[in-house]
Structure 1
């Protein structure tokens, strides 16, 4: 279903909302109040009732935070949203801060007087975040109730969708096996139990899914897993009612209202991850012990069954993408707009009869809209496709057997000056990651420069990571592994990542090419050292538009990679389409 921006999140609505918040701050004797783009689960995507940053500022990006002072306010967000944040916020109210280059700890000392009181909601900030702020001298960081909630008269109700069972055949392990695995890890860490606020961890552990968050099949819940493999699942009882038999007697249901009593009554060291555990949750524990998250890496290392399942999902999605791209070339109406593109693509995915949902709001940006990295079309920004420009489409699907994420950039008539060269440089970066072979222990930070080097040769770059982790019928962004300058998480076999270099010329066009890849063990060639190496295998099979490739820029090895990739697209997707679609695919997959 096509969705526009929430009309309540607009720049002109900010002034009275900020005024109400400041009036509330005065009653709490606060000099500043922190508004994160987060909920109690610290995930990237939040329910409508938790869109506090959008409510107060108008900015709808998926990362950032706002700090409101008595006489000024600032919004912090990263390079992906440079254009968007200016378009969606009122500069007379909010100054924009380039984050994380400038952090809150850098900005606050010059903004608040000595002894200034900064209020925060302890359910929305992790232990690590608040510990960092409390180290600042001359600042009083105080836990308070939430000022946005107190001044938001029509705040939406909490989501309460029923939980569903995720098939063991697709998961590759039973919930019993997973609980035993985590219990063993807790014993080794010297804790009697572990509390998690992360729904993706609970969904993975218990082989369940939900529908509390748009585009991501997560159940909003908390859980405590014990060293005896028992689990206390903290959620509204009615949410778990449909799956009681699946959960079994070792999984006990506790209502959210009873969570404090449950956590306060736990004996023995109780593990928690300070980087994700909310302050309020940690303070409920009488014997807390900080330990690494025991779920994250285990969830990231996909089972053979998960890889097989998502492989099929990507082939199905590839065929839907081919049908869409042919429609774009030959059947779209003469006056087609970005909204038409979004609707058409979702329609082709729905035609598979296996689509559960799209995996995020489709990005369809023509011309300068494509230069907004996380652009999302609405009725106000909707633009006709036109000619002599390029179109960037970043989209994905949620199928029961896999989560997809793909970006393709296509010419609409004659490409703008410089676009073909920039596209080819981006393609070279994608090829470099796709072909990478690397030792065990290498992290995403070590590989990120491979994707950027071709652009660097032209004095260009992009302000987002090269790749993020991806779940299997879970989050399209699912850590902890990434390909980025800052990721120190070693890559391991079974991890699924995106490979998506890009280039954005503000006011003109945007380019991004994205495939999903997964990590596998590399076979040692003759003459190679006797050491373990890893490489990537591709999951996404959709043509890369040959009309935007400058063949002269590609090396012989790069041209051979493109030809092999397109031959594989033809062999894998060709049997799934026919007629005019297969004819179009054949032409698009012709050797360079």
Structure 2
């Protein structure tokens, strides 16, 4: 468990500054899902390592707010004598403050770590929000890791499919149409896309930490550490004006007078708003136009996704064939394969591909009850054996030169009980209901979400995470703006969008199930779209009650498995090929057998 010493030190600091409490989000100045160790203040103060959360530290209480993915994990990682665990969405922090603290309490926050929409919600809490700009936790964090400083490289136009100059002109046109003078950029993936560069500040996240200002004529000022630029060509650097990241806020203030600055209220730190207002500028609150431009993939990017998934599918099949052979043998010998061994072997297979660069996120290799934590990551302390009587869930992906992959398979290596079989079949039917769906062009993610949940709902079950998310092109594994979940997502789904489909079910202390394919939105009948799978991995049918599948579901599985077999059989090892043919055998043949 995390020592409470940081809590005591922070409380002493707050008392010295006459503050009643402080908000510590799982965030950096770029709203990165994966924080660099230098920026992960929430983990330092609480011990929680998940990708989303918020702590409220008061003189006599400490509260950790996490979403449904992390309710179990938080209770495993955090000292429950020191922290109360709350639900991030069911009990939003601004409502908790309003309902539990007297008005006027002085609550500190760091403006670079809070976006404007969060700030406005908190203003309605009745608390006195006190901005602190001097990184106060630095005073109580003596062994704080250094800030990241990864090298940046160019993304060639033949892989990106569009030059940076052309992208900047498209952004300039959007600014002009909106009557804006500047667009302030703080999201690393939007900057990487715009400049056709990729970074290495955080493993598995090929984006550079930096800021930028785009003028309505297409000129761009890039606020980036010069130590990161050694691999960039003079041609790339000649297209930008360079400045230090530390000068970004002062520059926003300096240019603001009588200007209209475009900010994204959901992602730009409120510190940028404060700088613009201090400079007597006007803020235009609109979603960053690059976010949607980036999500609408061009033909070159789409071709890259398809090619990278063939590479990834071959690695998956080689891995699954090895795993299926070794699990029963090793278990019988009393030396079972473990979660960590399996994920290391899977990485070895991915590394055989020349286009593979790195993982696209930390592999979720989860056996038995560990899979009930849907974002579990194995460690030497939790490393579970993979056996024939429990499910094994593997959620993993790769960053390839020409694309990014993300897929999940839940596997069974022996007989499963009736409850597990029922749960697995319901998850599969939800997956099939959505991946076979034809929907009106422009439908939104939340309008489709329930199709994947219905088979579980009919059993009185559900899962507490989204059903799908966007995926970047050699960028971030979770890419905005598209998402399929219960929460409203107002962005239309159009041909060229890339998402995942990943329903699941998790029974605490017993098992977890998820099936995930990455898909491309493609045109269907006039005015309608459908999903075309990018993922090429057999779906394990050994735990399915095949009698519960209808004709449409069987037809899709057989067609999908035929495509997987024909595409990958020339690419996989000779040892894996027999397993591939068995794993993709037609459902009707299984039923007949």
Shift of 1:423: 1.1
Larger deviation, residues 463-472 vs 353-362? 353-362
Shift of 1:248: 4.6
Q: Distance in 2 between matches of 1:110 and 1:536?
A: 44
Shift of 1:261: 3.4
The DSSP-based 3-state class of the residue aligned with 1:523 is coil
1:445 aligns with 2:446: yes
Q: Distance in 2 between matches of 1:284 and 1:237?
A: 24
Map 1:40-59; keep pairs closer than 5 Å.
40-59=29-48
Q: Distance in 1 between matches of 2:178 and 2:349?
A: 48
Q: Distance in 2 between matches of 1:217 and 1:249?
A: 22
Shift of 1:162: 1.5
The DSSP-based 3-state class of the residue aligned with 2:582 is helix
State how many pairs are aligned: 573
**Paired residues of 1:390 and 1:416 also in contact (CA < 8 A):** no
Map 1:258-273; keep pairs closer than 5 Å.
258-267=247-256, 268-273=259-264
**Paired residues of 2:95 and 2:125 also in contact (CA < 8 A):** no
Q: Provide the residue aligned with 1:528 in structure 2.
A: none
The DSSP-based 3-state class of the residue aligned with 1:503 is strand
Map 1:339-358; keep pairs closer than 5 Å.
339-358=340-359
Map 1:325-344; keep pairs closer than 5 Å.
325-332=320-327, 333-334=330-331, 335-344=336-345
Q: Provide the residue aligned with 2:130 in structure 1.
A: 142
RMSD between superposed Cα atoms in Å: 1.3
Q: Provide the residue aligned with 1:227 in structure 2.
A: 216
**CA offsets per residue over residues 501-529 of structure 1, 9 Å max, x none?**
001111111110000001111134xxxxx
Q: Provide the residue aligned with 1:175 in structure 2.
A: 164
Q: 1:559 aligns with which of 554, 559, 564?
A: 554
Map 1:211-222; keep pairs closer than 5 Å.
211-222=200-211
Shift of 1:435: 1.2
**CA offsets per residue over residues 463-520 of structure 1, 9 Å max, x none?**
1000011001000101110111112222122111010000111111111000000111
The DSSP-based 3-state class of the residue aligned with 1:480 is strand
Q: Distance in 2 between matches of 1:228 and 1:371?
A: 51
Q: Provide the residue aligned with 2:267 in structure 1.
A: 276
Q: Provide the residue aligned with 2:54 in structure 1.
A: 65
**Paired residues of 2:37 and 2:145 also in contact (CA < 8 A):** yes
Q: Distance in 2 between matches of 1:414 and 1:470?
A: 35
**Paired residues of 1:192 and 1:270 also in contact (CA < 8 A):** yes
**CA offsets per residue over residues 392-418 of structure 1, 9 Å max, x none?**
011111111111111001113222331
Q: Distance in 2 between matches of 1:243 and 1:57?
A: 39
1:470 aligns with 2:498: no
Q: Distance in 1 between matches of 2:237 and 2:269?
A: 29
Q: Provide the residue aligned with 1:3 in structure 2.
A: none
Q: Provide the residue aligned with 1:288 in structure 2.
A: 282
Shift of 1:314: 0.4
Map 1:17-32; keep pairs closer than 5 Å.
17-32=6-21
1:436 aligns with 2:426: no
Q: TM-score, normalised by structure 1?
A: 0.95
**Paired residues of 2:153 and 2:199 also in contact (CA < 8 A):** yes
Q: Provide the residue aligned with 1:34 in structure 2.
A: 23
**CA offsets per residue over residues 519-563 of structure 1, 9 Å max, x none?**
111134xxxxxxx21111110010001211211110111111111
1:320 aligns with 2:315: yes
**Paired residues of 2:249 and 2:271 also in contact (CA < 8 A):** no
**Paired residues of 1:468 and 1:498 also in contact (CA < 8 A):** yes
Shift of 1:81: 0.9
Shift of 1:134: 1.1
Shift of 1:279: 1.6
Q: Distance in 2 between matches of 1:541 and 1:159?
A: 35
Q: 2:521 aligns with which of 519, 535, 541?
A: 519
Shift of 1:239: 1.4
Q: Distance in 1 between matches of 2:524 and 2:580?
A: 31
The answer for unaligned runs of 5 or more in structure 2 is: 588-593
The DSSP-based 3-state class of the residue aligned with 1:29 is coil
**Paired residues of 2:62 and 2:83 also in contact (CA < 8 A):** yes
The DSSP-based 3-state class of the residue aligned with 1:389 is coil
**CA offsets per residue over residues 110-137 of structure 1, 9 Å max, x none?**
4323321010011100112112111223
Larger deviation, residues 487-496 vs 448-457? 487-496
Q: 2:293 aligns with which of 265, 287, 298?
A: 298
Q: 1:89 aligns with which of 78, 83, 108?
A: 78
Shift of 1:461: 0.8
**CA offsets per residue over residues 208-239 of structure 1, 9 Å max, x none?**
00000121101000000111111000011221
Shift of 1:69: 0.4
Q: Distance in 2 between matches of 1:91 and 1:297?
A: 41
**Paired residues of 2:225 and 2:244 also in contact (CA < 8 A):** yes
**CA offsets per residue over residues 319-377 of structure 1, 9 Å max, x none?**
00000001101135442111101111111101213321111111111110011100000
Larger deviation, residues 329-338 vs 113-122? 329-338
1:101 aligns with 2:90: yes
The DSSP-based 3-state class of the residue aligned with 2:576 is helix
